[in-house]
């Protein structure tokens, strides 16, 4: 339970090389007490490095970490009062389930009654009560991961619980329930939870705030809605949402309109200061609709493919060389090969050099 400040942090694994490659480029961020954060990004983007810096397993090449305004940069992991759950179950093979769960408390000299009480409470949350006396090594992989998770949650006073894709090995049903449990734990104890994942749905449903990373860079921090509707870079647009955001090379036309091929599209963005190079238009397939009676922002396309996903239909269409995808209501019948699609101006995002204008 602490506010965590990461101030101008950066990290490289080869600091002595002439041109070190940075796993994390300099950034500053604050994690508010009691909130849920998800760090989202493809493999190798620096998510785990960031967690390890916070837990103290790695000392950052540069920058400071503050827990409640106290500098802990040079403090060792064991003194930081943080808990971390790894992607794959890490259990103490030689101990029973109970001893596994009690270990973090025993290491910190908690009283016996308190240990008993906490272990009981955590094991109930995680459905482990009936296994407490069993040797931990005899459990299945997902039960083992529950033990790891339990060890992360057993201390109430931790500054933050860091989770590195903790639910990867757990089956979907239980995953869903556990995510809800984690949320409840967060709401009850006001523990700061940081959750690393590459699954956007997991991130969207779990977190108050999502941190999107790419190649050691923090690309966007925001609410799920912001990330979805106004991605700050084309990477975020591409990475979040399924299918990815529609992106087209465009030409500037007037102060608030652009041209795709020969079609004029109005946007709500002021484009007067832009120069005509590497400009892209992005729009979510959810916002691209089959035109009814709109007169503007219409794009005529050829239908390539219609996939029925049950709750929606996904149209894959072509406009010249450009591919446009559109998620439409499944009741809508498409009779022709040609159809007009409508781009609502307020949903059109314009990017220059892959950054949102």
Which residues are near another protein by CB under 8 A?
A: 55-57, 76-78, 82-84, 86, 88, 90, 92-95, 103-104, 107-108, 148, 151
CB 251, min distance to another protein, A: 52
What SS3 class is residue 115? helix
Contact 138, 128 (CB under 8 A): no
**Burial class of residue 322 (count of CB atoms within 10 Å of its CB; 0-12, 13-18, 19+):** middle
CB 83, min distance to another protein, A: 6
Residues 220/222/228/234 CA torsion (nearest 10 deg): -10
CB 27, min distance to another protein, A: 23
Q: How far apart, in whole angstroms, are the C-alpha atoms of residue 262 and residue 65?
A: 52
Helix (H) and strand (E) counts for the chain? 8, 22
CB 105, min distance to another protein, A: 9
**C-beta of 108 vs 305, nearer to another protein:** 108
CB 3, min distance to another protein, A: 20
What SS3 class is residue 251? strand
First to last CA, the chain: 37
CB 115, min distance to another protein, A: 13
- Please give the C-alpha separations between residue 306 and each of 317, 323, 328, in angstroms, as whole numbers: 9, 13, 10
**C-beta of 46 vs 231, nearer to another protein:** 46
Listed residue (252, 265, 215) closest to 27, CA to CA: 215
**C-beta of 152 vs 237, nearer to another protein:** 152
DSSP tag of 123: H
**C-beta of 108 vs 112, nearer to another protein:** 108
Contact 178, 125 (CB under 8 A): no
CB 31, min distance to another protein, A: 17
Q: How far apart, in whole angstroms, are the C-alpha atoms of residue 324 and residue 244?
A: 11
Contact 286, 229 (CB under 8 A): no
Q: How far apart, in whole angstroms, are the C-alpha atoms of residue 126 and residue 53?
A: 28
Backbone angles phi, psi at 282, to 5 degrees: -125, 135
**C-beta of 101 vs 218, nearer to another protein:** 101
CB 67, min distance to another protein, A: 14
Listed residue (210, 215, 247, 207) closest to 228, CA to CA: 210
Listed residue (283, 219, 274, 272) closest to 248, CA to CA: 283
CB 70, min distance to another protein, A: 18
**C-beta of 95 vs 244, nearer to another protein:** 95
**C-beta of 78 vs 117, nearer to another protein:** 78
**C-beta of 62 vs 94, nearer to another protein:** 94
What SS3 class is residue 345? helix
**C-beta of 4 vs 258, nearer to another protein:** 4
């Amino acid at each position: 339970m602490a506010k965590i400040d990461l101030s101008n942090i950066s990290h490289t694994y080869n600091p002595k090389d002439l041109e070190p490659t940075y796993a994390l480029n300099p950034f500053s961020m604050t994690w508010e007490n009691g909130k849920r954060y998800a760090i989202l990004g493809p493999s190798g983007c620096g998510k785990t490095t960031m967690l390890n810096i916070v837990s103290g397993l790695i000392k950052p090449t540069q920058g400071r970490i503050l827990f409640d305004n106290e500098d802990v940069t040079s403090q060792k992991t064991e003194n930081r009062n943080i808990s971390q759950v790894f992607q794959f179950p890490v259990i103490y093979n030689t101990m029973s389930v109970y001893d596994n769960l009690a270990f973090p408390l025993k290491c910190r000299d908690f009283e016996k009654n308190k240990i008993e009480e906490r272990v009981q409470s955590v094991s109930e949350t995680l459905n482990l009560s009936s296994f407490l006396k069993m040797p931990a090594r005899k459990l299945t992989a997902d039960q083992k991961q529950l033990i790891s998770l339990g060890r992360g949650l057993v201390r109430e006073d931790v500054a933050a619980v860091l989770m590195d894709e903790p639910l990867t090995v757990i089956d979907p049903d239980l995953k869903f329930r556990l995510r809800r449990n984690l949320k409840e734990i967060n709401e009850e104890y006001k523990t700061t939870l940081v959750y690393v994942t590459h699954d956007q749905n997991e991130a969207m449903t779990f977190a108050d705030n999502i941190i999107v990373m790419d190649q050691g860079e923090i690309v966007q921090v925001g609410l799920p809605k912001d990330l979805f509707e106004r991605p700050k870079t084309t990477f975020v647009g591409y990475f979040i949402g399924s299918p990815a955001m529609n992106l087209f090379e465009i030409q500037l036309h007037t102060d608030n309109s652009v041209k795709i091929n020969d079609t004029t599209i109005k946007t709500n963005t002021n484009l007067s200061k832009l120069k005509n190079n590497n400009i892209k238009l992005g729009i979510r397939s959810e916002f691209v609709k089959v035109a009814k009676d709109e007169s503007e922002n219409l794009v005529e396309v050829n239908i390539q493919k219609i996939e029925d996903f049950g709750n929606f239909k996904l149209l894959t269409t072509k406009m010249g060389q450009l591919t446009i995808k559109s998620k439409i209501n499944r009741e809508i019948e498409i009779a022709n090969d040609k159809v007009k699609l409508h781009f609502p101006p307020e949903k059109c995002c314009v990017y220059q050099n892959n950054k949102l204008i």
